[in-house]
Chain A
Amino acid sequence: MAGLLGSLTLISVTILFLIVGYITIQGIGGINLAFFTDIPKPMGQDGGGIAQAILGTLEMLAVGALIAVPLGVGTGIYMAEYGGGKLNSMIRFSLEILASLPSIVIGVFVWALVVRSLGSFSGLAGAFALSIVMVPIIGGSVDEILRLVPNSLREAGLALGVPRWRVILQVVIPTVLPGIFTGVVLGVARAAGETAPLLLTALGNEFINTDLLKPMGAMPLQIYNYALSPYPEWHQKAWAATLVLVLVIALFSAGVRITTRKFRYVR
């Protein structure tokens, strides 16, 4: 029995190494400095990179986080500190549904709401879509992390005649600030790799564009475009861009691991 389960486990873990290994082998040859600083070039020309996609991803992640962090962190604090019993399980259930929505659904929704009413695909629409991906992840992890704060600390503050909201802001949250940060990073990292919500919102752009009201490039979209082309040179670029995206997200996760290891507040 243990042998069988062990083999199954081995297969599961091997999948990760296969994926990462294959992407590395295929992509490493396409990576050089110009790949990060150039925009895509027309077919037939040498070179060309993903600069506009990296820039677009960063900008949309930043704007998305600007929307999602207050929403997610606020929801998490509400659940942990104010909400009770039935209300909480309703909120948690809604967040879980939101998190498990197929991401193309988010894309369609934002397309109908933002793209159609603004009359154009845009980075702003992409950022909206990414923020919807982030909110449930951030909200859920903030709620969880705040529950690690022992009640005795809240009581210590309250017993000093400190109002509840001040206890939350000045005692509870500072105690788990690194953990809250971790939750935010997890949400942002998850959104960084999303393709489907961007297809119908940011659309993609072959040129550098920082105007939020115009179509914007993004790394997953660039991979999609390069990969769908019929040219082997572009396939090589798709592999290279994939490798970069995987590395960026791995970096996020590693950063989270390190900060959470330092941060152990359990009493």
Chain B
Amino acid sequence: MSANLMTALQQGSALEARDLDVYYGKAHAVSGVSIRFKPNTITAIIGPSGCGKSTVLRCLNRMHEVVKDAYVTGEVLLNNENIYMPQIDPVRIRRRIGMVFQKPNPFPMMSVYENVIAGFKLNRGTPKHVNFDEVVERSLRSAALWDEVKDKLNVSGAALSGGQQQRLCIARAIAVEPEVLLMDEPCSALDPISTRKIEDLMQELVKHYTIVLVTHNMQQAMRASEMTAFMLADERRIGQLVEYAPTQQLFKNPSDPRTEDYVSGRIG
């Protein structure tokens, strides 16, 4: 394992968007977002539906490119290196910036064990000395799932409960030791108890990773995050970053009246 990966084990990387504009074909979805995500910090992005928060998140590891005709202008810097430089392969970026989706999406044809190491198995060039048993146990422990599944590593990933599936997806994402973890409303399909487990888990994960959490649940942002960004679509339905501040400050003492309207429940 390279020295680079070893440090990533201990520390997350800084991630920064500069003047980010996102387009889907001719549709302008997000405009002028500049934001710096601090390393080893949970940053929440909140805002009403359609404000572009998930779109911004998907730009951070170039997943938005999966949509046909989607493109961005501006920069996204991972440790001060622009991931949109033409010579950079988005596939490599996604190995460094992992993602957890709204709906748990374990691979149904794979066992729990295979799901965790899917990031290695689906790629060639896995270092020979990777001990998969170790990776599986470490990742599942980190995802607070080991005790629940250690006796059923061979059952299908789809056979677990929704909350377990989502933690399996987190284990799968961290197994390849990314520097940043993007979480797109990871609890919106889960019950309160599973939600609680994942929020607790995030507090552990943030010691090793930089976490960006998109949520429509303001209580979750307040409970889980240190920094919060508030986004809102303007009258042309183009998403913008309205305010970015420490979570306590953003909710208790927002500087923008639109933020105050939203966090006090007057809009959204």
Contacts and interface: CB of A to CB of B under 8 A. Distances in A.
Nearest to A154: B66
Contact of A153 (B61, B92, B107, B173): B107
23 contacts: A84-B68, A150-B105, A155-B63, A155-B99, A156-B107, A156-B169, A157-B107, A157-B118, A157-B122, A159-B61, A159-B99, A160-B122, A161-B92, A161-B123, A163-B91, A166-B122, A166-B123, A171-B107, A171-B122, A174-B109, A175-B107, A175-B109, A265-B108
Contacts of A159: 61, 63, 94, 98-99, 101, 173
Q: Which of A154, A157, A161 has the most CB of B within 10 A?
A: A161
Interface of A: 84, 150, 152-163, 166-167, 170-171, 174-175, 265
Contacts of A153: 105, 107-108
A174 B123 CA distance: 16
A264 to B, nearest CB: 11
Contact of B101 (A155, A161, A163, A171): A155
Contact of A152 (B68, B98, B103, B118): B103
Nearest to A152: B105
Contacts of B197: none
Contacts of A157: 107, 118, 122
A195 to B, nearest CB: 40
A155 B93 CA distance: 14
Contacts of A154: 66
A247 B93 CA distance: 56
Contacts, number: 70
Interface string B74-112: 000000000000000001111110110101011111000
B91 A162 contact: yes
Contacts of A170: 121-122
Nearest to A150: B105
A220 to B, nearest CB: 39
Nearest to A153: B105
Contacts of B63: 155, 158-159
Contact of B94 (A150, A158, A265): A158
Interface in B89-147: 91-96, 98-99, 101, 103, 105-109, 118-119, 121-123
Interface of B: 61, 63, 66, 68, 91-96, 98-99, 101, 103, 105-109, 118-119, 121-123, 169, 172-173, 176
B15 to A, nearest CB: 15
B193 to A, nearest CB: 23
Given A153-B107, A265-B108, A158 B119 contact: no
Contacts of B173: 159-160
A161 B109 CA distance: 19
B119 A162 contact: yes
B169 A160 contact: no
A176 to B, nearest CB: 9
B66 to A, nearest CB: 6
A171 B118 CA distance: 10
B105 A155 contact: yes
Given A152-B101, A152-B103, A175-B109, A161 B95 contact: yes
A95 B20 CA distance: 43
Given A152-B103, A154-B66, A166-B123, A160 B109 contact: no
Contacts of A84: 68
A95 to B, nearest CB: 22
Given A152-B103, A153-B107, A163-B91, A158 B66 contact: yes
Given A171-B107, A175-B109, A162 B122 contact: yes
A154 B122 CA distance: 12
Given A156-B172, A174-B109, 11 more contacts: A152-B105, A153-B107, A154-B66, A155-B101, A158-B63, A159-B63, A160-B173, A161-B93, A161-B119, A162-B123, A166-B122
Q: Which of A84, A157, A159, A265 has the most CB of B within 10 A?
A: A159
A34 to B, nearest CB: 47
A174 B156 CA distance: 14
A159 B118 CA distance: 11
Contacts of B119: 160-162
A155 B94 CA distance: 11
Given A161-B92, A174-B109, A167 B122 contact: yes
Given A84-B68, A152-B103, A170-B122, A160 B94 contact: yes
